[in-house]
Amino acid sequence: MTGAAPTNPQSDASAAGGADDRTQVISEAQALSMPHLPAAPRERPQTAPRSEPPAAAAAVAGLSPGTVINNNYRIQAALKSGGMGEVYRGIEIGTEDPVAIKAIRPELISDGQAGDMFRREARTLRLLTDDAIVRYYNYVHDRDLDRYFLVMEFIGGIPLSDRLRQYGPLPAETGKVLLQRLAKGLAKAHSKGVVHRDLSPDNVMLPDGIVSEARLIDFGIARAQTIPEGAAAGKFAGKFKYVAPEQLGHFGGSTGPATDIYGLALLTAAALLGKPLDMGSSIPEAVQARREVPDLSALPEAFQPLLARMLEPDPVRRPATMLDVLQLLDGLDAKQGLSARLPERAPQPVPGLQVSAAGMALPPQAAIPDLQVPASAGSRGRPPPFAPAVHVPPEPAPPEKPGAGRKAAVFGTLLLFALAGAAGWHAWRTGLLQTGSAAQASGGGQPGAQPAAPGIPPPSPVTREGFLAAFDAGACSFATRIAAGPSAGMVETHSADGSGFDGLPAAFEDRFGTRPALLQRAITPEQCAAADLARALQGRHPDPVQLSLSADQAVSGEAVQAGIRVPPGQSLWVVLISDQGKVYNLSSRLAPGHGANRHLEFALALAPEAKAAPQLVLAVASDTPLVRAATAPDGKKAAELLPQLLEEIRSDRVQASAALSYVLLTAPAAASHSDPGTLAPSLGD
């Protein structure tokens, strides 16, 4: 680590930024009463880097060059004075190694809030060890000076903000390197329970100006799960141009890893543009600017889809973790476009869903048109906490779909770029990638007649699920064995016309020695794509996803609980498919947890005077997240979306499995008269 820092090393605030660029900690009442602050100057005159800040700067703080701290460290020069702290360059006396020394500004020494934040920064840095994070050395109290000091690694270089000011935007490839480097460091911090909350170009140091060695600094307002927040708890903290909506009190005001995902996206956008996005210079302006995904059309196209996802106002719609961001980055070609699958997100809550048993209420949502009268389609309510759901036993997996032209995932994602802009992912709903109708089942009249699709292995010939996948019941059909519960051992069949399964009990008995009863589920033609997808993936994975519902019939407004067993290390996508064949994402309702067993709870409201309607819940597990799943808007037709999803699985050779469950939604008066399924006797032909 060599050289003196030119202009702004390890600083608390941008040298060129106005007050709006400083990290601020203020109460909500103060924030809302603040006048709109002037924007920072767009550019600063080019100046040659200074090798040493003037010694007078240190004298202002009473810590002049030569000051000895705790008999261990000697100040050499003042580097920067920010909103709450001062940073000095010094040496460790015994070794003469360079160090950075941070102190609270003299006028804030008696401020309990500033003291709390300073101690928390020291304790937070002690938790972290990563190449992309400034290294912590010591936290000392000098009795003679009666001041506390935080001693850190000295980084000889410049802040990213100065790099952008002097040389302009980063090239796209360099921007990817920066994003990847910082995301890895933040992933490590998040794994330790630490959230930075103050990401900006000022707080990224470039050793010797090298972007690939970037380091995060200034964890002064970081939040650590194991460290109390102290006096600053509940107050706005951060820079107006880089904070997330939840830091301004939206979506419950709870900060977490998603907060850094939003901040990192704004930081990356600033690096690629050479200036920050227009996100406001005061809290009222910042709030307004965060009501939707900002305009990203000036950014390189390859980055627009990812940054749009990271900049979703609702935290649950952003990538779930920094590891998801990194997974996508692995396939981002800064020159050509995005060629990797997107990480699964917790998407838009199912409109019209109502929480029931736990007594929780959702904010207004856009309604599911076929279930109830539409409400505001623009609502972006956040799902509530999750009530405990029933622990469910295992159930089978899914089907095989031939037909449909191969559409390369790379081509699909390149089209995604063309659609991305100020509206981010939302233009995807136009359905530019046509794949035709849902796949037609193929094969003869006996098991084994279906050919294996490229990239999808044939169903196992020795398992019951493999047998059911290969049994030819015609198009729009799916049969699965019920593994547990009152109907264990029965075969549940799904079809639109009820035909095609007459010979199944006898064929099953010939193969396995037992004749099952059939539980027949009548689905609508619009739901056929779900049956086709489930069958296309059925019996092919040694450890498939399993799905069970708490009931196969639900009165309008009544809670339905789902239990899902997810294979280790796999991504999960859960959706509702209405009787009109519209797909609505349930993934955001998954209760918190990371084990194999996941749970969710939902309720549906049937429109007044509507007839009983079959609803399907589809779960898809895959060894890598899927683009079509991550980008699908609520209300998209299953006949369009699910063949696209299957084509992606085929062409990219994704290891995937699916499970399908049925629930009949009834009006209260009709509940006692509805038949959720028809029991077919296990008699021979």
Tell me, what CATH number does 295's domain have?
1.10.510.10
Burial 600-616 (b: 16+ CB within 10 A, else e): bbbbbbbbeebebbbbb
- What was the pLDDT predicted at 217? 87
Instruction: Give me the torsion for CA of 630, 634, 635, 637, rounded to 10°.
Output: 10
Confidence check: pLDDT of 663 > 90: yes
% of residues, the chain, pLDDT over 70: 65
504 CA to centre of own chain: 43
- Of 118, 153, 188, the one marking the end of a domain is 153
- What was the pLDDT predicted at 661? 94
State mean pLDDT over 471-484.
Answer: 89
One domain, residues 185 and 316: yes
Cα 340 to Cα 321: distance, rounded to the nearest angstrom: 17
- What was the pLDDT predicted at 66? 93
- What was the pLDDT predicted at 669? 64
One domain, residues 260 and 307: yes
Cα 293 to Cα 645: distance, rounded to the nearest angstrom: 25
Please indicate, yes or no, if residue 464 is contained in any of the structural domains.
no
Burial 155-169 (b: 16+ CB within 10 A, else e): bbbbbbbbbbbbeeb
Mean model confidence pLDDT for the chain: 72
> CA–CA distance from 224 to each of 18, 117, 451, 593 (Å)?
29, 12, 54, 20
Q: Which of 438-452, 591-605, 616-630 has the highest mean pLDDT?
A: 616-630
Contact present, 321 and 187 (Cβ < 8 Å) = yes
State mean pLDDT over 22-32.
Answer: 43
One domain, residues 305 and 283: yes
One domain, residues 141 and 162: no
What are the tokens at 253? 């005001």
What are the tokens at 529? 């794509």
- Of 337, 372, 393, the one marking the end of a domain is 337
Cα 440 to Cα 425: distance, rounded to the nearest angstrom: 30
Residues 6+ positions from 592 with CB-CB distance below 8 Å: 386
Q: What is the pLDDT of residues 192-213, one digit of tens each?
A: 888 888 899 999 999 999 999 9
3-state secondary structure of 51: coil
- What was the pLDDT predicted at 602? 85
Q: What element of type H or E holds 60?
A: helix 55-60
- What was the pLDDT predicted at 335? 57
One domain, residues 185 and 291: yes
Identify the weakest region by mean pLDDT among 81-85, 147-151, 246-250: 81-85
pLDDT interval class at 296 (50, 70, 90): very high
One domain, residues 284 and 253: yes
Please indicate, yes or no, if residue 80 is contained in any of the structural domains.
yes
SS (H, E, C) 574-620: EEEECCCCEEEECHHHECCCCCCEEEEEEECCCCCCCCCEEEEEEEE
| DSSP 8-state code for residue 350 | P
Q: What is the pLDDT of residues 299-344, one digit of tens each?
A: 998 899 899 999 999 999 999 899 999 988 876 766 554 433 333 3
Q: What element of type H or E holds 182?
A: helix 172-191
- What was the pLDDT predicted at 294? 92
Strand partners, 564: 547, 598
Cα 523 to Cα 545: distance, rounded to the nearest angstrom: 22
Counted domains in the chain:
2
Comparing 552 with 423, the larger pLDDT belongs to 552
462 by Cβ neighbours in 10 Å (0-12 / 13-18 / 19+) ranks as exposed
Please indicate, yes or no, if residue 196 is contained in any of the structural domains.
yes
- What was the pLDDT predicted at 233? 41
What are the tokens at 550? 């708490």
CB atoms within 10 A of CB 619: 29
107 by Cβ neighbours in 10 Å (0-12 / 13-18 / 19+) ranks as exposed
One domain, residues 225 and 77: no
Q: What is the pLDDT of residues 32-67, one digit of tens each?
A: 344 333 333 333 333 333 334 443 343 334 688 999
State mean pLDDT over 641-645.
Answer: 94
17 CA to centre of own chain: 31
Which residue type does 420 have? A
pLDDT interval class at 119 (50, 70, 90): confident
One domain, residues 173 and 231: yes
Comparing 242 with 371, the larger pLDDT belongs to 242
One domain, residues 66 and 127: yes
What are the tokens at 161? 């903000």
Please indicate, yes or no, if residue 112 is contained in any of the structural domains.
yes
Cα 345 to Cα 312: distance, rounded to the nearest angstrom: 11
Supply the CATH number for residue 141's domain: 3.30.200.20
- Of 128, 153, 178, the one marking the end of a domain is 153
Please indicate, yes or no, if residue 301 is contained in any of the structural domains.
yes
Our CA angle for 476, 617, 553, nearest 5°, is 100
CB atoms within 10 A of CB 48: 8
Our CA angle for 360, 362, 366, nearest 5°, is 155
Cα 349 to Cα 362: distance, rounded to the nearest angstrom: 9
Per the structure, the complete domain to which residue 104 belongs is given by: 19-39+51-153
Instruction: Give me the torsion for CA of 559, 565, 571, 574, rounded to 10°.
Output: -30
What are the tokens at 44? 């600063």
Residues 6+ positions from 227 with CB-CB distance below 8 Å: 120, 123, 124
One domain, residues 122 and 193: no
One domain, residues 208 and 313: yes
| DSSP 8-state code for residue 256 | S
pLDDT interval class at 361 (50, 70, 90): very low
State mean pLDDT over 491-496.
Answer: 93
What are the tokens at 6? 């030119």
Please indicate, yes or no, if residue 302 is contained in any of the structural domains.
yes
**Dihedral sign (CA 472, 473, 477, 478):** negative
Please indicate, yes or no, if residue 499 is contained in any of the structural domains.
no
Please indicate, yes or no, if residue 307 is contained in any of the structural domains.
yes
One domain, residues 137 and 167: no
Q: What is the pLDDT of residues 509-564, one digit of tens each?
A: 998 888 989 999 999 999 999 999 999 999 998 899 999 998 899 988 888 899 99
